[in-house]
Amino acid sequence: MDILIIGLSHKSADIGDREIVSKKLLTPELRQVFAKKLLNLKDEGNRPLINELVILTTCNRSEFIMDLPQWAVGGNAHFIKDYISGYFFDKKGSDNLFYMHLNFEAIKHLFSVASSLDSMVIGEPQILGQIKDAYNEACEFKMNGQVLNKLFHKAFYCAKRVRTETKIASSPVSISYAAVELSKKIFNSLSEKTILLLGTGEMGKLTAKHFIKCGVHNIYIANRTKEKAHHFVEESFGANEKNYVDVIDFSEYYKLLPHTDIVLCSTGSQDYVLRYDDIVSVIKLRKQRPLFLIDVSVPRNIDPEINKISNVYLYDIDDIGKMIEDNLDIRKKEAETASELVEINVKEFMEWRNSLNVVPVIVSLRNKVKDILEIELSKYISEKKEKDLIINSLTNKILHEPITLIKKAAVDSNETNMLETLKTLFNLDLGKEIKNDNTINKELEKGFDNKNNSSRIKLIK
């Protein structure tokens, strides 16, 4: 019942390495293939190593959030990490690119990620949506279960609290904001500029919206599937914003480049969409007017060599991230408060998770007492209904205090011996006792969702 997170992010790996991982997890199909491989990992006793799995892939991170069965031990976690590392990289030492968090640290990490405390831009809102997408995908692939259901719902709750109870998102610092600020360093007035948005990615959408706020009135959107672009415009932009947005055919975007001042690339392509030679000719046609290219896609869709061309300025997501690192003081201060909130939520989750361990003990103890009472009372009371009522009442009264203490002991990690003592004292054989008892399911279901996939949540965009 250990929670394990293995992953790599902008903090552990550079964009090149992240690209390699992200390319192999680019589509849901690719992710499903890899998820199946992970879920099929077995230990020496041919028992599965992973119970539940969620794969999270964003521009800046790829993470595997897992719930391990009771028999999986520390060594297995390293085995899983090596397997993941070997799947993506051939080079030696690539496992150093991955971090690994277990239990408390893992939960804290996930909650911090969901609350955008671990993001390149602290407090950016996209990450929560991305985690919800990842969770929904796990539901679709039937890879989730009780523990991860509870974990993710708690993560969403934690993120919401952080967002509402701190000022982490109040100061305008995000990739999209940074992109606009960078444009202002190159161009004098944005209102006369033309922007071309390639692709319909989330980051591209936010940046385009921010440009409109800053007075840009000409935005062209090109996507390989034109219908998707139309749908994107319908969904993403308000009535007023739509006046400034036009969808063009993807084959026509090159013709538009000489008249474009800012290109925003946010496609899911695996190859470069804009190459060095394309831009060399474009800049001549532009009579050397500056061209600002922003590549927010991972893998990168604009050839980095383009930045060497005179009067062309190319920024990828890492470049922008580095720019804003120094400008996050306010959010960093708020992040300290947010971390406290995260800690509280992690503790709450840990309490719930630890309480799972005592449920079989409680159920077993109740059954034991009930059995004794049943045998003894049967001698004096023949009517079943009346007898059951008395048994239940007496069981509750006798065990009220001990159960309260057991639950308390479960939360307090120092009291683990108490459970062992209880088992020994009452000679509790957990496996045997609880086999046919529905009470355990009731206890397990208390406070969290069903295992079935109907628990898929509606996304709060």
Distance CA 413, CA 416 (A): 6
Residue 188: CB minimum distance to another protein, A: 4
From residue 295, alpha-carbon distances to 110, 198, 317 in Å are: 27, 10, 6
Residue 121: CB minimum distance to another protein, A: 12
Q: Which of 59, 139, 158, 265 is catalytic?
A: 59
Distance CA 35, CA 369 (A): 44
Binding residues (CB under 8 A) for another protein: these are: 178, 181-182, 184-188, 286-290, 307, 310-311, 313, 315, 319, 322-324, 326-327
**Residue 171 vs 455, nearer CB to another protein:** 171
SS3 helix, strand, coil % of the chain, rounded to 5?
Answer: 60, 15, 30
**Residue 11 vs 184, nearer CB to another protein:** 184
Report helix, strand or coil for 309.
coil
DSSP letter string over 146-168? HHHHHHHHHHHHHHHHHHHHSST
Residue 171: CB minimum distance to another protein, A: 10
Q: Evaluate the CA torsion angle 234, 237, 243, 244 in order and state its sign.
A: negative
**Residue 216 vs 342, nearer CB to another protein:** 216
Residue 311: CB minimum distance to another protein, A: 5
> Which amino acid is present at 184?
K
Cβ atoms of 203 and 124 within 8 Å: the answer is: no
Residue 49: CB minimum distance to another protein, A: 43
Report helix, strand or coil for 62.
strand
Per DSSP bridges, beta strands 61-68 and 52-57 are antiparallel
The owner of tokens 């406290």 is 340
The reply to whether 59 belongs to the active site is yes
Tokens of 276: 């060095």
Distance CA 222, CA 229 (A): 7
DSSP letter string over 382-446? --HHHHHHHHHHHHHHHHHHHHHHHHHHHHSGGGHHHHHHHHHHHT--HHHHTTT-THHHHHHHT
Distance CA 197, CA 199 (A): 6
Q: What angle do CA 264, 270, 272 make, to 5 degrees?
A: 55
| Positions marked catalytic | 59
